[in-house]
Structure 1
């Protein structure tokens, strides 16, 4: 069963439909059309891959300004910061998969000669065959008439095609050893104390660097500033708690936002939907229903 379509009003109509499926360790699907949406710079813990159905999206990724147009594939790998906004007057429409690293590791293990997560250097791929497979698989997974076995089989086949055609053979090992120790320590502090009023001076002292040096190292290694990372953690924690029955206003304050309006503004800049609409999607998703 798909999530609820969310209308934001105004021609052309904007919408976002998010579906969570309990297959292959958990998969999220997003079908959306955005016109005025501007995604703030952020990164994902997993992979994101999709196809542009209409219009064009512009985003900064791996030091490049990229444009993904209708019929092309757009993607990001774990930990790579990016943003996004319309590159055409009518914005863009797309279908996206959000996948756990473990899911791709399982598929890649059967295709790659070296261990590790698959790496993709390109943020935009001009591959009509892959784009069609992504669109077809996405629609199939949205359908309540498709069996779990078929969904898992078709998704694995689509991922295998993506990896075999475009992944770097050398693979990519993820882990804390890739990070500067100071960045790792700062991230730990933010993740533990995200609900409080953290200071740059306090983070720098714990990390053993000057405030200026910490900001430079942190942004170089994560693609975002410590403040942007704090905002992302707060949004992620609020997103997790929206699965429950707590008042959104209470979630906002306990996650470190000034009030519900503050949460709503920053939540939409990262996810493309409001906390209320996100909660409605969760309530209608098969993963939530169990």
Structure 2
């Protein structure tokens, strides 16, 4: 039993986007959650094993590859479905985050409600896993993280919420997109959130992503990366240290700069600098 308990672990992290998002990555064997409720939404996917919980008057099991969720105020518990335990990744979201996504889908947005505690949808589970993993990566900008999370929430709501609404038609908001582009190019070294960029542009975050990509052919976070690489390339003509260029252009470190620089230009910053100096 001690050996089984030693396999248990959990990690909690938070991100300052969409009103604050908490993430849990955990592996449990003997853990048994007492009856409790959350003030916000919880949604995640099972990585390993299976979890059993009482929810909305039913005893349900979420197995590997399935989505488990609870809505605000609904009492539930949780424990392993068998002796092997379970592992999962969870998002804990304020109601405001779901309202933000619902605004993109509904003419008269309201807080969505979900009847099911378990969803058997491998594609949605895979999306949750990818998004959760991306959100833990320190090299990914807040704009990209928030964009991916909004995409996940809008798909979850549109497919499984009651009265979920429909996807909005594409529209063009040239002025807002131009403002957003100018802000990105002016504040490229900052870890600017999508929420703030949208507020300064006068659109909702989800709407901004859609019209930005429609007008410019790239998402806001892709344009941010492109701008950072461009500014770094300009700096490489000088004599500044590579690590200083990386930090001052918004990259987390020199390795981050090298990875994205090569992805866009096909060569490393070091090789690019040698070419510039030799010419």
1:136 and 1:92 map into 2 onto residues whose CA distance is 19
State whether residues 114 and 169 of structure 1, in contact with CA within 8 Å, keep that contact through their aligned partners in structure 2.
Answer: no
- Aligned partner of 1:20 among 6, 9, 14: 14
2:57 and 2:66 map into 1 onto residues whose CA distance is 20
Q: Does 1:50 align with 2:62?
A: no
Quote the offset at 1:115 in angstroms: 3.2
Q: Does 1:153 align with 2:166?
A: no
- RCO (CA 8 Å, sep 6+): is it higher in 1 or 2? 1
2:2 and 2:136 map into 1 onto residues whose CA distance is 24
Q: What corresponds to 1:36 in structure 2?
A: 30
**CA RMSD, 1 decimal:** 1.6
State whether residues 105 and 164 of structure 2, in contact with CA within 8 Å, keep that contact through their aligned partners in structure 1.
Answer: no
Larger Rg: 2
TM-score of the pair, normalised by structure 2: 0.57
Q: What corresponds to 2:161 in structure 1?
A: 167
2:35 and 2:60 map into 1 onto residues whose CA distance is 14
Q: What corresponds to 2:260 in structure 1?
A: none
Measured against aligned partners, the alpha-carbon deviations of 1:55-90 in whole angstroms (never above 9, x if no partner) come to: 000000000000000000000000000000000211
Q: How does 1:3-18 map to 2 (within 5 A)?
A: 10-11=3-4, 13-18=7-12
1:161 and 1:9 map into 2 onto residues whose CA distance is 41
Q: What corresponds to 2:64 in structure 1?
A: 70
Measured against aligned partners, the alpha-carbon deviations of 1:148-167 in whole angstroms (never above 9, x if no partner) come to: 11000000001111001101
Quote the offset at 1:10 in angstroms: 2.6
Q: How does 1:131-210 map to 2 (within 5 A)?
A: 131-169=125-163
Aligned length: 164
Residues 169, 91 of structure 1: CA spacing in aligned structure 2 closer, same or farther, 3 A cutoff? Answer: same
State whether residues 51 and 73 of structure 1, in contact with CA within 8 Å, keep that contact through their aligned partners in structure 2.
Answer: yes
Measured against aligned partners, the alpha-carbon deviations of 1:235-269 in whole angstroms (never above 9, x if no partner) come to: xxxxxxxxxxxxxxxxxxxxxxxxxxxxxxxxxxx
Q: What corresponds to 1:115 in structure 2?
A: 109
1:36 and 1:111 map into 2 onto residues whose CA distance is 41
TM-score of the pair, normalised by structure 1: 0.55
SS in 2 for 1:74: strand
SS in 1 for 2:144: helix
Measured against aligned partners, the alpha-carbon deviations of 1:193-244 in whole angstroms (never above 9, x if no partner) come to: xxxxxxxxxxxxxxxxxxxxxxxxxxxxxxxxxxxxxxxxxxxxxxxxxxxx
Quote the offset at 1:112 in angstroms: 2.6
Measured against aligned partners, the alpha-carbon deviations of 1:79-111 in whole angstroms (never above 9, x if no partner) come to: 000000000211100000000001101111221
Q: What corresponds to 2:54 in structure 1?
A: 60
